[in-house]
Structure 1
Amino acid sequence: MSENDKVYEQLAAMIRTANHCVAFTGAGISTLSGIRDFRGKNGLYTLPETDKMFDIEVFYQTPSVYYGLARDFIYGLQEKEPSIVHQVLAGLEAQGKLAALITQNIDLLHQKAGSCHVIEVHGSPSRHSCTGCSYTTSFEDVVSVARTGEVPLCPRCGHALKPDITFFGEALPAAAITEAQQECRRADLLLVLGSSLTVYPAAALPQITLQSGGSVVIVNEQPTYFDSYAALRCTDLAETFTYLRQAFGIEV
């Protein structure tokens, strides 16, 4: 048995014996689905102008900037399929081994994989809201227009529709953050998956689990500030979750 296999076996044992296991996911898990992360070596923020994509002031002044930049990244999501990480997490939840899934991601792939208890701490594009009135609509209702790079407009008042994603300059969804903190407080095992742990307050969630007496496992290609506190650390998400899929007999 290789050293990696020993670590994976230990991880599987920790998941089996946990009373309240919670997963916390970042953009790294969706790179396996062909979606760029944000801050990786080939991340979205290495491209020109993308720092303006989620700037709320830019959106209110010129919503076409967001819709032009997000045409493929957000509104091409229907073409993306869940990765093995998404699928195994959904399988663990179905087996009763995963109590909750907290995500920084805005790609809806956890739901597509079949996860039910998903806490989206950075908001979600599943709903779009009018910037001028109380009108709201679904992702499916705006995707055909947004896919062209055009700005979807409110049918009532003509203002731009904005996805319920948390832009820079906006407060994170309070209910989601509170629920995430509660889950991390209850967790005796927190799996941190594909997150650089650089964006606060979400990046502070592992501290809550540790301070509450739980263990934290990190699976991420790049180092994080929390690595020295982790009970286990792995670097290869695909390899780790291929092992877990086999260990738990999860069909994907």
Structure 2
Amino acid sequence: MSLGYAEKLSYREDVGTVGMSEIFDPPDVLQQKIEELAILIQKSKHLVAFTGAGISTSCGIPDFRGPKGVWTLQRAGKGVPEASLPFHRAMPSLTHMALVELERAGILKFVISQNVDSLHLRSGIPREKLAELHGNSFRELCPSCGTEYLRDFEVETIGMKETSRRCADTKCGAKLKDTVLDWEDALPPKEMNLAEKHCRTADIVLCLGTSLQITPACNLPLKTIRSGGEIVIVNLQPTPKDKKASLVIHGLVDKVIAGAMHLLNLRIPPYIRIDFVQLSLSHSPKKKTYVKWNLRIASVHGQRAPLPFLKSVEVSFPERPDLKTAFLQKQPFYLKRETLRKRPFKMLLTFNFSDGCGCPCTTIEWPINFQVTKDNLVRDKNEVLPELGDAANMESHSGQHAVLERKVNPRSEVTVYAIVTNIRRYNGPEEANGVLEITPNGNSNLIKRYGEGVNGGQTSQKRPKWT
């Protein structure tokens, strides 16, 4: 199971201090600091989050310098730590989703990330409000026209090298490059300029799960101090910037942020992952009686791109016992058949999901009638995807699906489906356990008490999560 960026980079001696022991503030001190953090967030006019590997450890992605971090274990000769799930199936943490809610509420203005795991984008942070300083293992860039492509699979290279795909713009067609920096690469100017601009404007830079050791990124938060702002650091280990910070909290990032969100009367939204698959049916007549047809199940990112969320596909024909069920085990998933031209049938496609998905499978029913020509169909993603997400949230399980697009030609039909493959809530017992019961003191009259509004209290106005 891939660790992505961490697995691809060799260990270097210039990574700073590794293997640092973790520090935990005593419960009463932690409670007071979380309350102070909530007050700072509430009063802020331009809040910026600066995130590191520590916000993704609860997602199953190891950090770098902790006791079981990548560089710590490599220095000890123990190799790369094992991830708890495939890199491409990692789900955003409670902290990731809390940042989404703070952005939707108009409190969080910008996110600066040193991570390459794509979890900020998956969670719902708008691209224009995110600077990914070290790149993204799931993002490709066209060096010619500047178009970005966010993938559902991990791009195979790092160091801004050419990949195996080209720009989809027919007027361009240039070879794409990965966006993940190697050690000697300079930070991308576009991302860096935006990060610097927002740090200078910020009144609070909230540093979450970062040891603040990798230059030049680690010096960005200092720019807010020079402009009269403040730094808050939430990390389990000491950092070189602790003396510059107005507040340093030694605690689990998820626990700290959960406490602050409750005090602010803000609910953490669920994470709902939607993946996409393309079904292609091509056919040709044979002596006007029979028709040969081919079914291909592929990625929307191209015929040769992987479908990491699919393990296998079962194709059955419930109303046609004469048609044998097919079990497609290897990608690309492909089926070739010959049937009577004038006899319609129903095809059931059972998608068996890979490890890390929220349910084992889902089934799509596809009626086939070669005598009838279907119409083209294009649906608005901004309507379809929120509806799918709402259905998954209400039903408390994944597997829901909907047609997004259908293109029909005389000899073929191509249909794109959106499928809910994961749902995770952050207000359940698994998140509440260990979160401090916080009662604000007399100087915190502007903040609601812990837990108030969680069940029916007023929350910020939502906008569609998927774009």
TM score, norm. by length of structure 2:
0.43
The answer to whether residue 243 in structure 2 is matched with residue 228 in structure 1 is yes
Asked if 1 retains the 8 angstrom alpha-carbon contact of 2:139 and 2:149, the reply is: yes
* CA drift at 1:155: 5.7
Name the residue aligned to 1:240: 256
CA distance in 2 between counterparts of 1:16 and 1:94 reads: 14
CA distance in 2 between counterparts of 1:135 and 1:118 reads: 17
Asked if 2 retains the 8 angstrom alpha-carbon contact of 1:196 and 1:224, the reply is: yes
CA distance in 1 between counterparts of 2:109 and 2:140 reads: 28
The answer to whether residue 52 in structure 2 is matched with residue 26 in structure 1 is yes
The answer to whether residue 107 in structure 2 is matched with residue 107 in structure 1 is no
Name the residue aligned to 2:225: 210
Name the residue aligned to 1:121: 133
Q: 1:241 to 1:2 in 2, by over 3 A?
A: same
Asked if 2 retains the 8 angstrom alpha-carbon contact of 1:88 and 1:244, the reply is: no
CA distance in 2 between counterparts of 1:122 and 1:244 reads: 28
Asked if 1 retains the 8 angstrom alpha-carbon contact of 2:88 and 2:153, the reply is: no
Aligned ranges for residues 59-138 of structure 1 at < 5 Å? 76-116=86-126, 117-128=129-140, 138=149
Amino acid at match of 2:197: Q
CA distance in 2 between counterparts of 1:199 and 1:155 reads: 31
Q: 1:235 to 1:154 in 2, by over 3 A?
A: same
- CA deviations over 1:135-177 (Å, ceiling 9, x no partner): 988453764x95xxxxx96267xxx975211111111101111
Name the residue aligned to 2:190: 175
Name structure 1 gaps, 5 residues minimum: 50-68, 147-151
* CA drift at 1:124: 1.6
Q: 1:97 to 1:155 in 2, by over 3 A?
A: closer
Q: 1:6 to 1:137 in 2, by over 3 A?
A: closer
Asked if 1 retains the 8 angstrom alpha-carbon contact of 2:103 and 2:125, the reply is: yes
TM score, norm. by length of structure 1:
0.77
The answer to whether residue 39 in structure 2 is matched with residue 13 in structure 1 is yes
SS at match of 1:154: strand
Aligned residues: 221
Higher helix share: 1
**Sequence identity percentage:** 37
SS at match of 2:106: coil
The correspondence for 1:43, drawn from 69, 73, 78, is 69
Asked if 2 retains the 8 angstrom alpha-carbon contact of 1:130 and 1:154, the reply is: no
The answer to whether residue 224 in structure 2 is matched with residue 198 in structure 1 is no
Amino acid at match of 1:118: L
Higher strand share: 2
The answer to whether residue 267 in structure 2 is matched with residue 250 in structure 1 is yes
Q: 1:209 to 1:130 in 2, by over 3 A?
A: closer
Name the residue aligned to 1:140: 151
Amino acid at match of 2:98: V
Amino acid at match of 1:251: I
Name structure 2 gaps, 5 residues minimum: 1-26, 157-161, 167-174, 270-467
CA distance in 2 between counterparts of 1:172 and 1:247 reads: 37
Q: 1:129 to 1:112 in 2, by over 3 A?
A: closer
